[in-house]
Structure 1
Amino acid sequence: MKQLVVSVIGKDRPGIVDQLSSLVVQHQGNWLASSLTELAGQFAGILHLEVDEQHLDALSHDLLNQENLLVNIAEGDSSNSEEQQQVAITVTANDRVGIVQEVTQALNTLGVSLSEINTHVASAPNWGGLIFTANLTVPCADDDQLGAIQESLESLADDLMVDIEQD
């Protein structure tokens, strides 16, 4: 079996997920995981698929030729399946230009890889500004590294709060 990571972008409309999932089933593939969203009127998705090698070319061809969808396909690396503890980190601060870069640079400096990042900005009516929130998932080896992550992130700004949840 081959694992694929597929990115899909196109003008949002009803039926895109049905269209993609039908293709996967048509080629005897298995939809393992996905992250799908609408951003600024565009459908954006990342799919983790598994398909038998004999159906790989046909599935890839059909995915790449979907009308009005920009599709990119990369072969997954099944050797990278070693389980490591995942830690959820929530970063909250007043929104400002460059905050995503500051947070990710702090993690990169510590050699921390991001398993997942979701960000959003919401209105803070009581303060008259915007509040930035980043929900991060990172693999973490030990408590010392967790402490370093928290210290590094909190040093970015006085208004920045960090909440770490271990499973």
Structure 2
Amino acid sequence: MKQLVISVLGKDRPGIVDQLSSLVVKHHGSWLASSLTELAGQFAGILHIEVAEENVAALSEELLNQPQLLINIAEGSDSDNTADEQVMITVTANDRVGIVQEVTQVLNSLGISLSEINTHVGSAPNWGGLIFTAQLLVPCASDDQRNLIQDSLESLADDLMVDFSDE
């Protein structure tokens, strides 16, 4: 079996996920994981698909020829990094320009690779400003490493808060 990672971008409309999942099923593939969202009127998604090697070419050709969708396909590897404990880090702070770069730079300086990142900016009605929230899934081996991550992130700003939860 081959692992495919597929990115999809196009004007949001009903039926895109059905369109994609139908193609996967048609070519006897298995939809293993995905992250799909609407951003500024655009459908944006990434899929992890498993399909028999003999069906990869036909599935890829059909995916790449979908009207009104920009699709990119990359072959994944069979390596499984789930052996490392994963921890979810939630970072909350007043929104400001560059905050994503600041947070990811700290993690990079600690040699920590992001497994997943989701960010959101929303209003803070009681404070009259915008609140930034990021959820970061990272491999984390020890309490000492968690403490280092927390101290390093919280040193970015007085208003930045860091919470951990095990995945």
Size of the alignment, in residue pairs? 167
How is 1:92-131 mapped onto 2 (pairs within 5 angstroms)?
Answer: 92-131=92-131
One-letter amino acid matched to 1:140: C
Structure 1 stretches of 5 or more lacking a match? none
How large is the RMSD of aligned CA atoms in angstroms?
A: 0.9
> How far has the Cα of 1:141 moved from its partner?
1.5
Q: Which residue of 2 aligns with 1:24?
A: 24
TM (norm. structure 1) is 0.98
- Deviation track 1:92-146 (CA, whole Å, cap 9, x = no partner) reads 0000000000000000000000011000001011111000000111001211111
Q: Map of 1:1-167 to 2, 5 A cutoff?
A: 1-167=1-167
- TM-score, normalization: structure 2? 0.98
In structure 2, stretches of 5+ residues that fail to align are: none
Distance 1:54 1:166 in 2: 39
Amino acid at match of 1:34: S
Q: Which runs of 4+ in 1 moved over 3 A?
A: none
> Helix, strand or coil for the counterpart of 2:66?
coil
Q: Identity percentage over the alignment?
A: 76
Q: Distance in 2 between matches of 1:28 and 1:54?
A: 10
CA distance in 2, matches of 1:98, 1:148: 22
Offset, 1:79: 2.2
Greater Cα shift, 139-148 or 156-165: 139-148
CA–CA distance in structure 1, aligned partners of residues 165 and 51 of structure 2: 35
